[in-house]
Each structure stands twice: as C-alpha cells, then as structure tokens.
Structure 1
Amino acid sequence: MCIAVFIWKAHPLYPLLLLLNRDEYHNRATKPLAWWEGDQILAGRDEVAGGTWLGCTRSGRVAFLTNVRELHSPPQSISRGRLPLRFLESNENPHDFAKELVKEADQYSGFNLIIADLPSTTMVYVTNRPKEDNISIIDVSPGIHVLSNARLDSPWPKAERLRDSFRDLLEVYGEREAPPEEMVETLMRNAVKDDESMLPHLYPVEKEYHLSSIFVDYETPLGRYGTRSTSVLRVKACGEVSFHEQYLENGFWKEQTVTYPIEAMT
C-alpha cells in the first residue's frame, strides 16, 4: 500500500517532482535503488517477484505503481511490479503502451500505473479498477496529484493531507530548491491516523486505522508491515535527474542519491 504525491508541468524548476512511500512487509526481500542490468534502468527491486514500484531510465522514461485496495485478488495473477519494468524496458510511447496493456489488464490484481516520457512531456495514468469501468487511460493534467490505493486524486483523508502539505511546502520555497531530506521528513514521515468514521471500511477497522497514515508502521500476524522506503525524484528542465532514496535495511534507515542527465534532453 504505497502513496505518492507529485507535481507535473507546473513548477518553476521541475517538469516533474515526485515523492513516493513504498509500504511492504519488512521481511520481504528487497534491493535498494541501483542501476539494473545494462545500466539503463534506475530502480529499487522486489526480489520476490522481480519487479519494481518506481523507476526511471537514461532516456527519460519514468514509471511508478500503487496497488488498489480490494478484498479479493484474481487467482494466479501476474505480479503488478512487472508493469513499471515493462514500460521502462520498452520503446513504446505511453499511449501505445497503455493501449497494449488493455488487452491483458484483467490478469492483474487492482493497480494504478503512471507512465511518462519526459522528452515528449507525456504522462498517462492507467488503472484496471473498478472492474465495471474496464481499464481507464487518462492523460495526467499539469498540477499537483496524489496517488494512493484508489483512483488518481481520490480524496482519501491521507491523500488530502499529503496534497495540502506538499502545496504548502512548495509555496514556502517558491523558485528555490527544497532539500529532499526536508521533503521526506516534513511530508512522508507523517504518522497522523484517521478517525474510524473516515476510514474506507474495506478491511478490518484496526488494519485500516494503521494504513490511514502517510507513514505506515505496525505489527501484523504475518510480521512487521509499513513504509520500507521513501523516494524523491526531481527532474530539472535541463534534463538532470536526481533520485534520492531513504530505505530501511536490517532495522536501520540509510540513504543515497543518484544524479544523471537524460540523454535525449542534453
């Protein structure tokens, strides 16, 4: 259960500024941010299913994913983490990739996928929920957006808190750069939880209560679950990408930053 906030084509410094919390069981094998085989894709890696939740490429492609909160998943569904990776590995533009995905979207559990090609300033949102609406393909408009575990910009309380805090922080800094460490601490470490009356009531109340904060951390019968990493992806108009990650490893928080130029924009 991840959450992301981003501003697209509406910031004086960044065509894209994205923050994302990845929530997962602490005992699920994961590799932190690194260049993948071939040195073209930069992403963290889920070692169980082999996919990722957020990644970018030297050519200027970006993809990130959240799950849709639902009670039942299709039997033997394909891992959703493969979707960002497939886009990053492909040469298709976001619209064509999304149209191809329509043909097999029912093989996946509920997902929200955002794919972007930065050189052409194209960003598309794709979701296969709710089922009765079939798959939706939407061009992402300029501005601030929040993606949690419902459709893009669904007004869940945690999503609204994150949107408001993000907007306030951007107003404070104006045309100056906000340090990624401050953005993580101010926005993505927020542990405020919702009152029971505000919960979606899809899961048991106790579980939903713990999932209602931006930063998640709680014990479950299957082990500790919560925010495993926080990513800050900043893309400048000149084509410079800065990918900052804070991640949990063996019970300790570590951090790293990788910076590189987009080949098609330099």
Structure 2
Amino acid sequence: MCLITFAFTPHQPRHLLLAANRDEFHERPTRPMAWWDWPVGPLAGRDEQAGGTWLAVGRDGRWAAVTNFRDPRGKSGQRSRGELPTDFIRGNGSPADYVHAVYRRRGDYGPFNLLAGDRGTLWYCSTHAGPTAVGPGIHALSNGLLDEPWPKSRRVATALEGLPSSAEIDAKRLFGLMQDRATAPDDELPDTGVGDELERFLSSPFIVGERYGTRCTTVLALQSRCLVAERSYAAAGQPSGELRYEFTLRT
C-alpha cells in the first residue's frame, strides 16, 4: 500500500472505513484478495514474490496495513515487510503490544509504516517514528509519516471527510475517490530525496505509469456486516477486475 485514508471510530457500529491504493511495479506477481486458511486466516492480497501482503483483515475485526517509507538511504531488511499485517491477524496480542514488538525489531525490515487495529484501538509505528496510539477521526498515510501533509494525502482525506455518512457503503464512490490522477503543483511537492521528476510522478493519489503505478484499490468497512471490495488495474490505469467480500464479525 502506498496511500491509505481511513475514518477510525472506535467502539462504534462501524469502527473503520478505509480506502487504499497499492502502488507497485506492474511486473511484480500478485494475487488478489482472498481468504487465507479459512476460517482462521486473514482476508488479504498476496505478494507472490515475497509471500506477504499490504493489507489484511480478520473475521474478528482486527486489521493491519503497511506502506513503504520513502527513504533513498534506507537499507533493505532481511525480512519482508509484507509479513507484518498477516502476523498481526494470526496472533492474539493487542495492537499496542504488536506495534511495540515490531518497532523493537524494525531493523529487520526495509523502511516501513505499520498500522494495526481492532474494534477499540489503533496503533502506528514506522522505522522513522516510535509507537503511537491513533485517535478517532480521519487520517491519511502514504510513504511519509502518518498524517504528514503531502498533497495526495490531504486530497484523499478531505474527500473522505466530505462523503455523506450512511449505513450503506458505496464502494464505487470510494473507488472513484482514490482515482484522482492530478499531480501536485511543484511548490507543494515533498522533498524525499528522489528528485523533482520522480516526486512529481508519485504525487498523484492514483499513479499511471508504464512500469510502475497503482495496481489496486481496496475499500474496507468493518461493522457488524463487513464489506471488503477490491478493484485491480492494468498498466494503463483501466480496471482489470473487481472482487467483493461480505462477512459477519466474529464475536
């Protein structure tokens, strides 16, 4: 995942509403979202190169997601960042305990951001920031720190905040929210050390490129009757498939 916006409302009938884009090289082999080891495994996509995932959800309302942290000087880790979401779903520890444990061994991984939550709590850490409890409200995470005001993050968070509240989830509208292809003005580009041309290319919420771009958008609504929807995209940015899962939260 390279761009996530979400509304966290702990202990409410819907404790999470999330929309996220995964940006990746088109040649990297990937499987779409599916249940791993039903009924105890996570619902997640699979990175077939390293075996992990970018976003995972469990039937008990636990979820976790990772994004890369853009740091050209960062070293590759000995372990895949993609194992972090599934390890959390498969375990039974609290989000706080899990995030603290991951932070202590952060040197095992390349630069990352991690979110891990359940129905009542949500925690964040990064290779570049210590464990922090995330408060209720609307948040955004890209390849910098949580809620860092990158133009793409601000745009999708503002769009999510502007959606009318409803018990019914309009997945198509959330997919559309994440298809914003407008690049940021040069004077608003972040400086992450990759040069202006690449900063500009990566500045739109939805990225279209011949070799690298947005591969899928995921919508996640965690409530008594949960919805997970995923739309996949080809290299030119056109939809290439769509999946939808609904399940009842396990008590």
Question: Under a length normalisation based on structure 1, what TM-score does the superposition of the two structures give?
Answer: 0.87
**Structure 1 CA distance, aligned partners of 2:12 and 2:97?**
30
8 Å contact from structure 2 (residues 76, 109) kept in 1:
no
**1:101 shift after superposition:** 1.5
Counterpart amino acid of residue 67 in structure 2: T
Indicate which of 163, 184, 195 corresponds to 2:175: 184
Counterpart amino acid of residue 212 in structure 2: Y
**Structure 1 CA distance, aligned partners of 2:52 and 2:110?**
15
Residue range with higher mean Cα deviation, 11-20 or 193-202: 11-20
**1:14 shift after superposition:** 2.2
Q: State the partner residue of 2:159.
A: 165
SS at match of 2:140: strand
The runs of 4+ residues in structure 1 deviating greater than 6 Å are none
**1:29 shift after superposition:** 0.3
Q: State the partner residue of 2:18.
A: 18
**Structure 1 CA distance, aligned partners of 2:60 and 2:166?**
26
Residue range with higher mean Cα deviation, 4-13 or 107-116: 4-13
Indicate which of 132, 144, 147 corresponds to 1:138: 132
> What are the superposed Cα offsets for residues 202-236 of structure 1, whole Å, 9 maximum, x if unpaired?
212221111000000113xxxx1110000000112
- Segments of 5+ residues of structure 1 without an aligned counterpart are 130-134
Alignment pair present for 1:204 and 2:195: yes
**Structure 1 CA distance, aligned partners of 2:132 and 2:233?**
34
Counterpart amino acid of residue 140 in structure 2: V
**Structure 2 CA distance, aligned partners of 1:253 and 1:16?**
27
**Structure 2 CA distance, aligned partners of 1:35 and 1:78?**
23
SS at match of 1:209: helix
**1:154 shift after superposition:** 0.4
**1:176 shift after superposition:** 4.8
1:110-259 to 2 correspondences below 5 Å: 110-118=111-119, 121-129=120-128, 135-169=129-163, 173-185=164-176, 187-201=177-191, 202-219=193-210, 224-236=211-223, 239-248=224-233, 252-259=239-246
The 3 A distance-change label for structure 1 pair 85 and 156 is same
8 Å contact from structure 2 (residues 70, 144) kept in 1:
yes
**1:76 shift after superposition:** 4.5
**Structure 1 CA distance, aligned partners of 2:179 and 2:198?**
19
Alignment pair present for 1:29 and 2:29: yes
Residue range with higher mean Cα deviation, 196-205 or 109-118: 196-205
8 Å contact from structure 1 (residues 10, 143) kept in 2:
no
**Structure 2 CA distance, aligned partners of 1:116 and 1:197?**
35
**Structure 2 CA distance, aligned partners of 1:225 and 1:88?**
29
**1:252 shift after superposition:** 5.0
- Segments of 5+ residues of structure 2 without an aligned counterpart are none
Q: Aligned residue pairs: how many? A: 247
**Structure 1 CA distance, aligned partners of 2:76 and 2:139?**
32
SS at match of 2:174: helix
Question: Under a length normalisation based on structure 2, what TM-score does the superposition of the two structures give?
Answer: 0.92
Q: State the partner residue of 1:132.
A: none
The 3 A distance-change label for structure 1 pair 252 and 163 is closer
Counterpart amino acid of residue 249 in structure 2: I
SS at match of 1:87: helix
**Structure 2 CA distance, aligned partners of 1:4 and 1:11?**
21
**1:177 shift after superposition:** 2.6
- Percent identity of equivalent pairs: 37
